[in-house]
């Protein structure tokens, strides 16, 4: 049986040299399925950092060149990797949940919202990086806005009441702070769980060779958020 061959050029640090070697190998060995340059991890050169690349292309190319039975085994192996990423992302998310609780606890009416939003965008960016997916900040901000719009509807009344209470002298800083902090933390926790769930789906689809567009990501996130809200009401 003839096995498909993929050549991997590791430590592909020098662009022109790597390109020349890749072209030479492809010319001299036309029977290979692909020649893929890879840097597995970010590589620091003095003050500069060369970002990792090639691993996703390598996985997708491998997937396309193996049998159906092997593809199923390959996806199962990737599920284990995705589970580990989801676990790490959840641990990171807890830090931001605590952070937004602390910010929400601040007894200054309506002053905490921008800080909480910034923290949530940073959390989403961190989770995205853990899963090895690349989105620009505008996309991440849009996703946070979409999730806050859906999830926030449940606690908006409570948050508004809390902010108004902060304006009333003697209303009880501890009580209002607890309500406000809990509200901020609850929304942040919802966002993290929903986003991790959506990225699990995205990762599986990408490992299977499917390209998931930004609009589909947003739809997935919004769908997961609504499912989460439905479960929360039961």
**Helix (DSSP H) and strand (DSSP E) numbers for the chain:** 7, 4
Q: Are residues 212 and 106 in the same domain?
A: yes
Quote the pLDDT of residue 233: 62
Whether the predicted pLDDT of 161 surpasses 90: no
Domain presence at residue 1: no
Mean pLDDT calculated for residue range 178-191: 76
Distance CA 207, CA 209 (A): 5
Judgement on whether residues 117 and 211 belong to the same structural domain of the protein: yes
Whether residues 81 and 97 share a domain: the answer is yes
Considering its fold, how many domains does the chain have in total?
A: 2
Q: Residue 165: pLDDT above 50?
A: no
In terms of domains, do 120 and 59 share one?
Answer: no
User: What average pLDDT does the segment 16-45 reach?
Assistant: 90
Residue 149: inside a domain: yes
Supply the range of the domain harboring residue 157.
Answer: 70-233
Same domain, 45 and 149: no
179 found inside a domain: yes
Are 99 and 190 found together in one domain? yes
Tell me how far CA of residue 34 lies from CA of 13, 25, 62, in angstroms: 19, 10, 9
Q: Map residue 53 onto helix, strand or coil.
A: strand
Is 100:120 a contact under the CB 8 Å cutoff? Answer: yes
Beta strands in the chain (DSSP E): 6-10, 34-38, 43-45, 48-50
Specify whether 135 is located in the same domain as 46: no
- For the chain, what percent of residues have pLDDT higher than 70? 79
* Pair 106, 138 in one domain: yes
- What are the phi and psi torsion angles at 114 (to 5°)? -60, -35
From first CA to last CA, the distance across the chain in angstroms is: 55
Domain boundary among 45, 65, 85: 65
- The pTM for the full model equals 0.63
Last residue of a domain, one of 65, 80, 103: 65
Which is nearest to 198 in space by CA: 186, 187, 214? 214
> How far is residue 172's CA from residue 166's CA, in Å, rounded to a whole number?
8
Nearest-10 Cα torsion for 15, 16, 20, 22? 10
Q: If you average pLDDT over residues 190-204, what whole number do you get?
A: 88
Place of tokens 């999730």: 147
Flag whether pLDDT at 8 surpasses 90: yes
User: Coil, strand, or helix at residue 128?
Assistant: helix
Q: Is residue 127, in this structure, part of any structural domain at all?
A: yes
User: Of 40, 65, 90, which residue sits at a domain end?
Assistant: 65
Conformation bin of residue 172: beta by default, left when phi > 0, alpha when psi is -120 to 50: left
Q: 8: Cβ–Cβ under 8 A, 6 or more apart, which residues? A: 36, 38, 58
Residue 151 lies in a domain: yes
- In the numeric block, the tokens 């508004």 are attached to 160
């Amino acid at each position: 049986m003839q096995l498909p061959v993929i050549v991997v050029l590791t430590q592909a640090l020098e662009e022109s040299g790597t390109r020349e070697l890749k072209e030479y190998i492809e010319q001299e060995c036309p029977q290979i399925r692909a020649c893929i340059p890879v840097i597995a991890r970010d590589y620091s050169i003095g003050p500069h950092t060369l970002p990792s690349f090639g691993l996703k292309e390598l996985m997708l190319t491998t997937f396309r060149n193996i049998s159906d039975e092997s593809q199923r085994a390959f996806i199962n192996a990737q599920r284990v990797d995705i589970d580990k990423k989801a676990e790490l992302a959840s641990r990171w998310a807890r830090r931001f949940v605590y952070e937004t609780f602390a910010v929400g606890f601040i007894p200054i009416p309506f002053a905490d919202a921008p800080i909480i939003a910034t923290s949530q965008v940073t959390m989403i960016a961190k989770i995205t990086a853990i899963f090895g997916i690349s989105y620009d900040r505008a996309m991440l901000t849009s996703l946070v806005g979409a999730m806050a719009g859906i999830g926030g509807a449940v606690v908006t009344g409570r948050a508004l009441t809390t902010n108004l209470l902060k304006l009333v002298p003697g209303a009880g800083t501890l009580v209002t702070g607890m309500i406000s902090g809990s509200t901020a933390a609850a929304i942040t926790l919802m966002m993290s769980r929903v986003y991790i769930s959506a990225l699990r789906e995205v990762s599986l689809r990408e490992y299977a060779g499917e390209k998931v567009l930004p609009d589909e990501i947003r739809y997935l996130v919004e769908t997961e958020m609504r499912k989460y809200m439905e479960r929360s009401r039961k």
